[in-house]
Structure 1
Amino acid sequence: MARQNAVKRQEYAEKSKAAYSSGNGAKAKVYNSSKPPNEIDLHGLKVREALDITRERLARFIRNKETNLIIIVGRGNNSVNGIAKIKPAVIELVKEYRIKATPNKPNQGCIFVEPLPSNQGFDFSWIDGFFRGIFQKLFSTIFGPWQ
């Protein structure tokens, strides 16, 4: 079993290196992660890459009825002027899903995600994000990239 894990680790390291060399930092990071299964680390990614990875992971979180997920977004210390870009973008994305997200838990660079309590009734907050996304795509198609 240890040998199989070592082979798999080497295989992932090679895939990570190849992805990084081809300019795909997001894919490289996925192969090079040793985080627990309920964590994703978005440090060092571009916002679009971070959002793509988060969408995929949130879909799996919901589909598998997981109890919690920690999204590590960082504090923005390495961003231009120290202003976080990934964290606010991920917080906006999470609003599109029927889940509870608590920023700054377990620490300032994280977002803690959990299912909504069953007694909370219907949550229609995702509608705003859904229509905002459609508007942004439509705007981008007509006028160019969304700023």
Structure 2
Amino acid sequence: MSAAPAVDRGVLISDPQYRKFRDLADQAYKKRQELSNKSQQAYKQGDGKLAHQLSEDAKKQLKIAEDYNFKAAEYVFIENNADSDGNEIDLHGLYIKEAEYILKRRIVAGIQRNESLLEVIVGKGNHSPDHIAKIKPAVETLCQESNLRFHIDPKNSGVLIIDLKGARIPQSWNDIQPIGAYIKPQGAYTQSSYNHQQPQFQQQPQVQQQPHYQQQPQYQQQGGYQQQQQQYNNNGNNNNDDLVKVLQQILCGCLNLLKK
């Protein structure tokens, strides 16, 4: 078990590359808001053409923001889970909606595999700007609302342990595509197999509404990400190998749910 040192991986949220992606996303969100305000002003002044153009520009900034948040979530998730045990998942550095979406899918997969428990590394908020934990209370609320039994690790308050034995997840979770649904046996995963599987995933209702994410294979072409994924796939993890292999698929849906 590596729960105690694993929490210290949360310092990655101050990693320059991670912060760069999040900061660029924030800048794009601000530009989007400015353009949206200008569009409304132009419309009120009777300049429909200008209002439309500004509105389109605002949409472009929204996509830019979502793309950068995608990169940030992908980067921090892979790094933080690279040395996790098979029954662990580290949510450090993810926004709440990102963390909730991924955790639900991990729980579904764990129940299907008859796993007894899942250790969720939520942190203590030590690395948050205001030193207030955000992921931990969100995960606790998710478990309470879903009638999932859980407790805080007595040895580490930054780890929440969810009891999966006999767990009955909400009916709505049954429509969520489980992690590993498109995973080939270990060692059979390749770049081409991912590209072949992805359109099948995009046909799911949750993803159909996010066409801008369907055009994001370029993220897998990033050399740094390929190196991270290769290192991760070679470390012998089982369940979390599945997480990395479908990381981009599950993030496609969750990032569109993220509201600034």
TM-score over 0.5 for the alignment? yes
Q: Is the CA contact (8 Å cut-off) linking 2:118 and 2:161 kept in structure 1? A: yes
**1:26 pairs with 2:63:** no
- Where is the strand percentage greater, Structure 1 or Structure 2? 1
CA-based RMSD of the aligned residues comes to 3.4
Aligned to 1:64: 113
- How many Å separate the matches in 1 of 2:140 and 2:155? 15
- How many Å separate the matches in 1 of 2:133 and 2:160? 13
Identity of aligned residues (%): 32
Compare 46-55 and 100-109 and name the one that shifted more. 100-109
Q: Deviations over 1:77-135 (max 9, x none)?
A: 1223211111000111122445321124441101011235x6xxx989x69xx9xxxxx
Please give the secondary structure, in 2, of the residue aligned with 1:82.
coil
Select 2:158's aligned residue among 87, 109, 118. 109
- Consecutive unaligned residues in structure 1, runs of 5 or more: 1-16, 131-144
- How many Å separate the matches in 2 of 1:47 and 1:115? 22
Amino acid at match of 1:52: Y
- How many Å separate the matches in 2 of 1:76 and 1:64? 31
Q: 1:104 to 1:80 in 2, by over 3 A?
A: farther
Select 1:86's aligned residue among 135, 141, 164. 135
- How many Å separate the matches in 2 of 1:62 and 1:96? 17
Q: Deviations over 1:10-49 (max 9, x none)?
A: xxxxxxx9xx965222222343322111000011111111
**1:41 pairs with 2:90:** yes
- How many Å separate the matches in 2 of 1:49 and 1:34? 20
Q: Is the CA contact (8 Å cut-off) linking 1:26 and 1:50 kept in structure 2? A: no
For the pair shown, which has the larger CA radius of gyration, 1 or 2? 2
Q: Is the CA contact (8 Å cut-off) linking 1:72 and 1:109 kept in structure 2? A: yes
- Consecutive unaligned residues in structure 2, runs of 5 or more: 1-16, 22-66, 174-257
- The number of equivalent residue pairs is 108
- How many Å separate the matches in 2 of 1:62 and 1:97? 14
Amino acid at match of 1:29: V
- Where is the helix percentage greater, Structure 1 or Structure 2? 2
Q: Deviations over 1:46-94 (max 9, x none)?
A: 1111111111111111111101110000001122321111100011112
Aligned to 1:3: none
Q: Is the CA contact (8 Å cut-off) linking 2:149 and 2:162 kept in structure 1? A: yes
RCO comparison, higher one (Cα < 8 Å, 6+): 2
